[in-house]
Structure 1
Amino acid sequence: MQFSRARVAVTITVTALLFTGATAFASPSDAATRALSRFDDGSFEYQKAPANSFSELGTGQGIGPWQVTSGTVDLIGAGFWQAAEGDQSVDLNGSGPGTIAQSFTTTAGTAYRVSYDLAGNPQLGPSVKTGKALIDGQDFQDFSFDITGKSSTDMGYVGRAFTFVATGSSTTLAFTATSPGAAGPVLDNVQVQACNACPSC
């Protein structure tokens, strides 16, 4: 049987389109996997708390890619108090001290810079809120914030940063409150960058 060049060309084109289509349909899944493996949602925006209010979350509950791994924390909704970036932030003390953590893909031997904005719940004591930043369970930075003179409309966020060298293909970053009570350190705008992608480490 003989085919014209035109029919052969059509057959090749259709086959190429089908192959391309199959590749295209596979890509979103691959992209989703990559999105879930990178550090994400440092501003705590993915899960919405009630506007002008907050949601208390306990151990095992999540805020986007973050997990509450101990105690309770408060996810602060838009308008409740000033956010450093976006609309929401996290008080690391819910009804008491809590811990949030996120695991993400890293390259062993590569240095990474963690930066975040820190404030404190201005509504209740103690005046000085304290906590720790941990990498794979190890204390990498202790932090404190004095709420004296601060308010819901002027939280007084300050920037904090530290670096670590990844030891494996996955790293867990955690923040935990160490001050007592129902009003703790407030986090927002958490970022993680490989040192070759950031200005200084």
Structure 2
Amino acid sequence: MPFSRTPVAALLVAAITALAAPAQAAGGHRALSHFDDGSFETPKAPANAFTSLTAGQTLGPWTVDAGSVDLIGAGFWQAAEGDQSLDLNGSTSGTVTQSFTTVAGTTYSVTYALAGNPEGGPALRTGRALIDGQDFQDFSFDITGRTKAAMGYVGHQFSFVAQGPSTTLSFTSTVAGAYGPVIDNVQVKECKPCCG
């Protein structure tokens, strides 16, 4: 009896198709993925302007968890990477979070660029970075001498050990008012090895 490749080929195509299908979380919600859009490029804010978002609203994979934030459009002021950045103060101090897949016991490095809204007072913009709700790094930025064309971004880094299959990274402002710390170019990478 001659060997038929059709059933084998059909099984391989079915298996590959099943593997390529996007994973769905229970209830049909989008499954957690690797960390994404650390430069706040989605959605697009108006050029030379900004979009204010409040608690419960989303910016791509990020969620505004508390208060309000301003998504800064291209040309409004200098971005550290890409076209857009995020002022952690909209009309008041805000918090943004993103959850992503991790491997328990694995060490990850978080890097980000920090500046401050150069308008209004006080001169010192403060905030913190949190992992799963725990404070991992307090930060501050002095806007003295800074302008929209020369924001003076400074790189920050910290590492954490994942406790489970997903981790939540948050950035929150700790200064009152409408002028806050500005973050951009947030990256999360597995440490191989980790320094710092």
Distance in 1 separating the partners of 2:85 and 2:101: 24
Residue 131 of structure 2 is matched in structure 1 by 135
Q: Does 1:20 align with 2:40?
A: no
Identity of aligned residues (%): 61
Cα offset for 1:119? 0.2
1:13-44 CA distance string (max 9 Å, x none):
x3344333323433442478898421111111
TM-score, structure 2 as length reference: 0.90
Secondary structure at the counterpart of residue 94 of structure 1: coil
Provide closer, same or farther for how the CA distance between residues 31 and 46 of structure 1 changes in structure 2, counting only shifts above 3 A. Answer: farther
Q: Report the equivalent of 2:99.
A: 103
Flag the structure with higher helix content.
1
The two structures, once aligned, show a CA RMSD in angstroms of: 2.0
Deviations 1:93-142 (A, max 9, x none): 00000000011111222211111000000122111100010111111111
Larger Rg: 1
Q: Give the Cα–Cα distance (whole angstroms) in 2 for the partners of residues 148 and 68 of structure 1.
A: 28
1:81 and 1:75 map into 2 onto residues whose CA distance is: 11
- Structure 2: give runs of 5+ residues left out of the alignment: none
Distance in 2 separating the partners of 1:80 and 1:32: 37
Relative distance call for 1:36 and 1:109 in structure 2 (3 A) is closer
TM-score, normalised on structure 1?
0.87
Q: Does 1:195 align with 2:187?
A: no
Unaligned runs of 5+ in 1: none
Partner residue of 1:164 out of 149, 153, 160 = 160
Does 2:118 correspond to 1:119?
no
- Which residue of the partner structure matches residue 51 of structure 2? 55
Aligned to 2:36: 40
Cα 1:51–1:110 change in 2 (3 A) is same
Q: Which moved more, 1:32-41 or 1:187-196?
A: 32-41
Return the alpha-carbon distance in structure 2 between the equivalents of residues 16 and 55 of structure 1: 54
